[in-house]
Amino acid sequence: MLKKRGITVVAFAVLAVSLAASALIVHLVDRMSADTRLEDVLYLPSARVLKRVSLGYNTLVADLYWTRAVQYFGSKHHSRSSRYDLLYSLLDITTDLDPRLLVAYQFGSIFLAQSPPEGAGQPLLAAKLVEKGIRHDPENWKLYYNLGWILASEMKDYQAASKVFERGSKVPGANPAMGVLAATTAQHGGDVATARLMWTQIYETTENTAIRANAIKRLQALRVDTDIPQLEQSLKQFQEAIGRLPRSWAEMQATGWRGPTVDPLGSPYLIMPDGHVEVADPEEFPFITRGLPPGYKPPFTPDISPALAGNSQQNSQPQKP
């Protein structure tokens, strides 16, 4: 029976080696250009066909597409890409298959509307998506936040946004902040306070970690955008009084001044020789408009692809509620 033992040993060895090697290759193939892999994600581009093929398991297939949408966005983001061509299609199909998948609308509203590289830069498509959600589920007050935000923040149409918030505030069970936003947006659409309220509500009305993380970044940016002008103003006053800029915040504090000397992440703001204030690490604050070094470019340049440009021309104006 020695022959048998020999075969067993060889077969075991072959099995182990080939399994290990195959796992290695899977790993290698996964790491290969993420772009090429994800292009295949829209296997069947038509939701209608999909519904038939799903044989009734619509929500299951919707979940699959939702998962892929999140991964698609996540991996594009991590690979510092700025092209999100497929995001709308993915979310559109997802919501066609499962029109009540709230998180898909919320996710889409933010990450389709935000400018690259934090989003696809397609606010019109974002609005279209959320409007679809509202059509299918008008009693869901949370979606009005998303639509209102798109109109106000990315399209600067404060009147329209205010009307959306008002409609939302009338939905039974709506958060009272909605009514507040309806009012403030109409009057002070571009205000920091309004923006802060919107983002806080967006944070509160979802459990999706990506959306929440994004909201936090937004709120931090609002903080920075408020702090910087205030600090620069204080520096100017110091200079006029003493004749030079302070060497540190401690010096200013010694004069009895109080102010925000650290950014929302705890790093001290930097005093520049020309009187400007900058954040220590601009990359931590993707949405700030103040406190950036002059000529600062984010590490990856937005690439406005033809797809994005074409879309914004093709889409008609969203219906005003």
Partner 1 sequence: MRSILLVAFNTFREAVRDRVLYNLIVFALLLIGASFLVGQISIGIERQVLISLGLTAISLFGVVIAVFIGVGLVSKEIEKRTIYTVLTRPVRRWQFIVGKFFGLFGTLVVNTFFMAIGFFAALALQAHRLQWADGWLVVALWFIVLEFVIITALALLFSSFSTPLESAVFAFVLFIIGTFSEDLREFAQAAHGLTRIVASGAAYLVPNLAALNVVGRVAHDQALPPSLIFYNTIYAALYATAAVAAAVLIFERRDMK
Partner 2 sequence: MPAIETIGLEKTYRLGFWRKTARQALRPLTLAVEEGEIFGYLGPNGAGKTTTLKLLMGLVFPTGGSARILGMELDDPRMRRQIGFLPEQPYFYDYLTAPELLNYYAQLSGLTGRDRKRRVEEMLARVGLAEAERMQLRKFSKGMLQRLGIAQAILHDPKLVFLDEPMSGLDPLGRREVRDLIQSLKDEGKTVFFSTHILSDAEALCDRVAVLCRGELRGVGVIAELEAKRTGRVEVVWRGLSALAEVRNLALECHASKNDTARATVTEGNLDAVLDVLRRGSAQIISAMPVRSTLEDYFIERLQADPQDEPGSTAASPDSDAPVREVAQ
Q: Which of 51, 54, 58, 64 binds partner 1 (CB under 8 A)?
A: 64
- Residue 3 interacting with partner 2 (CB under 8 A): yes
**201: which 2 tokens?**
């509500």
d(CA 288, CA 194): 16
Q: What is the SS3 assignment for 270?
A: strand
Between 67 and 230, CB nearer to partner 1? 67
**51: which 2 tokens?**
């519904």
Considering only CA atoms, which of 227, 211, 222 is closest in space to residue 288?
A: 222
Which range touches partner 1 (CB under 8 A), out of 35-43, 139-147, 199-207, 247-255?
35-43
Interaxial angle between packed helices 87-97 and 123-136, expressed in degrees from 0 to 180 and rounded to the nearest 10: 0
**How many residues of this chain bind partner 1 (CB under 8 A)?**
32
Q: Minimal distance in Å, beta carbon 9 to partner 2?
A: 16
Between 4 and 31, CB nearer to partner 2? 4
Between 3 and 258, CB nearer to partner 1? 3
Query: From the list partner 1, partner 2, none, which binds 40 (C-beta under 5 to 8 Å, kind-based)?
Result: partner 1
- Residue 240 interacting with partner 1 (CB under 8 A): no
d(CA 298, CA 261): 24
Residues in the chain: 321
Residue in this structure with the two tokens 């510092």, named with its chain if needed: 80
- Residue 5 interacting with partner 2 (CB under 8 A): no
Between 71 and 305, CB nearer to partner 1? 71
Q: Which residues contact 145 (CB under 8 A, 6 or more apart)?
A: 165, 168, 178, 181, 198, 201, 202, 205
Q: Minimal distance in Å, beta carbon 111 to partner 2?
A: 52
Which range touches partner 2 (CB under 8 A), out of 1-9, 84-92, 168-176, 207-215?
1-9
Between 74 and 190, CB nearer to partner 1? 74
Over the window 42 to 61, marking each residue x when it contacts partner 1 by CB under 8 A and - when it does not, the resulting string is: xxx-----------------
CA angle, residues 227, 228, 232, in degrees to nearest 5: 120
- Residue 14 interacting with partner 1 (CB under 8 A): yes
Between 2 and 28, CB nearer to partner 2? 2
**132: which 2 tokens?**
């679809």
Q: Which of 1, 28, 32, 55 binds partner 2 (CB under 8 A)?
A: 1
- Residue 7 interacting with partner 1 (CB under 8 A): yes
Query: From the list partner 2, partner 1, none, which binds 1 (C-beta under 5 to 8 Å, kind-based)?
Result: partner 2
Q: Are 88 and 191 in contact (CB under 8 A)?
A: no
- Residue 207 interacting with partner 1 (CB under 8 A): no
Question: Exposed/middle/buried for 66, CB within 10 Å: 0-12, 13-18, 19+?
Answer: buried
Query: From the list partner 1, partner 2, none, which binds 213 (C-beta under 5 to 8 Å, kind-based)?
Result: none
> What is the identity of the amino acid at 172?
P
**152: which 2 tokens?**
């106000």
**67: which 2 tokens?**
């998962």
Query: From the list partner 1, partner 2, none, which binds 44 (C-beta under 5 to 8 Å, kind-based)?
Result: partner 1
Residue in this structure with the two tokens 């029109």, named with its chain if needed: 99
For 83, what's the count of Cα atoms within 13 Å in the CB-facing half-sphere?
Answer: 13
Q: Which residues of the chain form contacts with partner 2 (CB under 8 A)?
A: 1, 3-4
Q: Which residues of the chain form contacts with partner 1 (CB under 8 A)?
A: 3-4, 7-8, 11-12, 14-15, 18-19, 21-23, 25-26, 28-30, 32-33, 36-37, 39-44, 64, 67-68, 71
